[in-house]
Structure 1
Amino acid sequence: MTELKIGVIGIPGKWSTEAIADALEARTGFRLVIDMAEVSLDLGTGALVYRGQDLCQLDGLVIKKISEVYSYHALDRLEMLRVAEAKGVKIYSRPEAILRLMDRLACTVTLANAAIPMPPTTITEDETAALQAVQAYGSAVFKPLFSTKARGMCLISASDADAAGQIAAFKADNPVMYVQAKRELSGQDLGMVFLGGDYVCTYARVKQDETSWNTTILSGGKYEAFEPDAALIDLGRRAQAPFGLTFTTVDVALTDSGPIVFEVSAFGGYRGVKEGCGIDAAARVADHVVAGVSA
């Protein structure tokens, strides 16, 4: 037991948030789950306060979840946390690292610049260009720039008689359209898990509902174990390296033309690691954070 005070930024009551809070409490005797909706920043005094606790006085913070739903508003919450970091609070993962991942386009551009194989992708505000991309790809997944677990995504095919109308409807809520060629995933995709840049394990998300076009757990997918070869692990390691995250999952799919990366997660999935790999991710992260704060 240490005397370290390490708080958890997350969603109170959510399993993964409570799991890392439990793991840290077991190692330090201190427990604080922080809902950023209740945090106030006073730039005059430099205080970042949650329910009377100045977060700048803590030894460390773990960001498990910055918001229930991804949006550009979540970026403001990360900016607030940079004040605590500037005052010496060690934060896992660093707010600046997460900022580069919350926006899907920022993640994609970083992966492309690192020469990581991805599905063909078009970014545009032009509905005609988006339709041309769909026609070139055959079918495409339209993805909001801020979303998780396939929320807000839709599949549009060149054969759809109302493809142009579907594109217009998507653009109404998403002025910048992220259009990605649909690839056959053989009913599964992979989550490759890394802690501090080191490989931990890989789990598969396996589709259970044949009517669904994606494998997410929200769409009925199921976690299973998966053993990747050395080349696949190296791909995952290279994909996550530019971001400098504490704990992350790299989303990979195996296709006929080779593996492709969809994205790198800003926060990683504890449940997938537990149910797919049989590993307590919260315990692993807590040990890593306590060692880092103590150093």
Structure 2
Amino acid sequence: MLNKSEQLSNLKVGVIGIPGKWSTEVLADRLEAKTGFRTVMDVRDIALHLDTNKVFCKGLDLTELDGVIIKKISQVYSPTTEDRIHILSHLEALGVPVFSPTGSMGKLINRLSGTLALQQGGIPMPKTRITESVEAAFEIVREFGAAILKPLYSTKARGMVYLREEDSDETVRTQLAEYQQTQPLLYIQQALNLHGRDLGMVFIGGEYFCTYARVGNAEAWNTTINSGGRYEMFEPDAELIELGRRSQACFDLSFTTVDIALTDEGPVVFEVSAFGGFKGALDGCHLDAAEAYANYVLSSIDNQKGN
């Protein structure tokens, strides 16, 4: 009989991500170190053959793998990202374990569906309103004071527009009208005082892993690393961890980061990530989330096989 280490070393788990990107490659490295098998796949190279119920990537039959991890499915979110999720859902339906489950990730590609899931789960969020009416949007912005327009498909604050309380009525109306040229459905969120920091709370298989802070550049309105922010360690209390746990429990994700801010009105959740990154945990908390995630995936597959 094979021992546990030998059982895991026989597993073949592929990584769908962005070839050459650190988070994709480091996850593949961790899996290779444990199993001896390594493959990184660009989702654009995947071909679904419905006539034979096969899924290929450059000659590799994905239906013969023991599992697939979707580390990244797109550099930026778009309706095409949802189409890619649908393709991979068929691989899942054929019996190949997919991490995270495609149904869970699909809810988070579109900002509105993810927000509604959190709202229905009773999760505290900034005041958020959605409309197609520019006039209604104008009234909402003026009621909020400062507001942020958020695209339905975006990550890392890309495409967001900050409307300041001191902006003139004409400026606000113009920005709303221009924004609606590319974003017909206006997603408007009240801008809160984040005190220059928000949090990334990491969960693996629904279990708390760590929390890091993103500390913003004083010249930027958001705290993203893309805008000059930096990672720092943060120690949350039990109540804050429970908020993060409840938030990610609105979905069924193998690996995720919950974005939380500590505001004057109390903690609020901005979103739950469909994929989540490893850099914040490494730089902020000095923890190897890729290693922990690889261990979780291999153990899950092994348990499903009944070993």
| TM-score interval, smaller chain | over 0.9
Task: Name which of 94, 98, 104 aligns with 1:91.
Answer: 98
Q: Which structure 2 residues correspond to residues 19-34 of structure 1 after superposition, within 5 A?
A: 19-34=26-41
* Correspondence for 1:260: 268
Task: Name which of 103, 110, 118 aligns with 2:110.
Answer: 103
Structure 2 CA distance, aligned partners of 1:159 and 1:168? 18
Q: Which structure 2 residues correspond to residues 98-177 of structure 1 after superposition, within 5 A?
A: 98-161=105-168, 162-177=171-186
1:238 aligns with 2:238: no
In structure 1, the residue corresponding to 2:290 is in which secondary structure? helix
Structure 2 CA distance, aligned partners of 1:24 and 1:91? 15
* Correspondence for 2:278: 270
* Correspondence for 1:70: 77
Q: Match of 1:195, as an amino acid?
A: I
Identity of aligned residues (%): 52
In structure 2, the residue corresponding to 1:111 is in which secondary structure? helix
Structure 2 CA distance, aligned partners of 1:169 and 1:182? 20
Q: Which runs of 5+ in 2 are unaligned?
A: 1-5
* Correspondence for 1:200: 209
In structure 2, the residue corresponding to 1:48 is in which secondary structure? strand
1:217 aligns with 2:240: no
1:182 aligns with 2:197: no
What's the CA shift for 1:211? 2.0
Structure 1 CA distance, aligned partners of 2:27 and 2:114? 25
Task: Name which of 40, 53, 65 aligns with 1:46.
Answer: 53
- Write out per-residue CA displacement over residues 137-166 of structure 1, whole angstroms, 9 at most, x where no aligned residue: 001000000100000001013431211000
Moved over 2 A (4+): none
Structure 2 CA distance, aligned partners of 1:262 and 1:83? 30
Q: Match of 2:185, as an amino acid?
A: V
* Correspondence for 1:13: 20
- Write out per-residue CA displacement over residues 101-143 of structure 1, whole angstroms, 9 at most, x where no aligned residue: 1111111000000110000011111101111110000010000
* Correspondence for 2:3: none
Structure 1 CA distance, aligned partners of 2:77 and 2:89? 19
Structure 2 CA distance, aligned partners of 1:211 and 1:131? 26
Structure 1 CA distance, aligned partners of 2:117 and 2:14? 30
In structure 2, the residue corresponding to 1:266 is in which secondary structure? coil
What's the CA shift for 1:177? 1.0
Structure 1 CA distance, aligned partners of 2:223 and 2:137? 24
Task: Name which of 81, 90, 98 aligns with 2:88.
Answer: 81
In structure 2, the residue corresponding to 1:242 is in which secondary structure? coil
Structure 1 CA distance, aligned partners of 2:120 and 2:250? 10
Q: Which runs of 5+ in 1 are unaligned?
A: none
* Correspondence for 1:285: 293
In structure 1, the residue corresponding to 2:212 is in which secondary structure? strand
Cα RMSD over matched residues?
Answer: 0.8
| TM-score between the two structures when normalised by the length of structure 2 | 0.94
Q: Match of 1:101, as an amino acid?
A: L
- Write out per-residue CA displacement over residues 78-103 of structure 1, whole angstroms, 9 at most, x where no aligned residue: 11111111111111101111001111
In structure 1, the residue corresponding to 2:249 is in which secondary structure? helix
1:59 aligns with 2:79: no
1:249 aligns with 2:257: yes
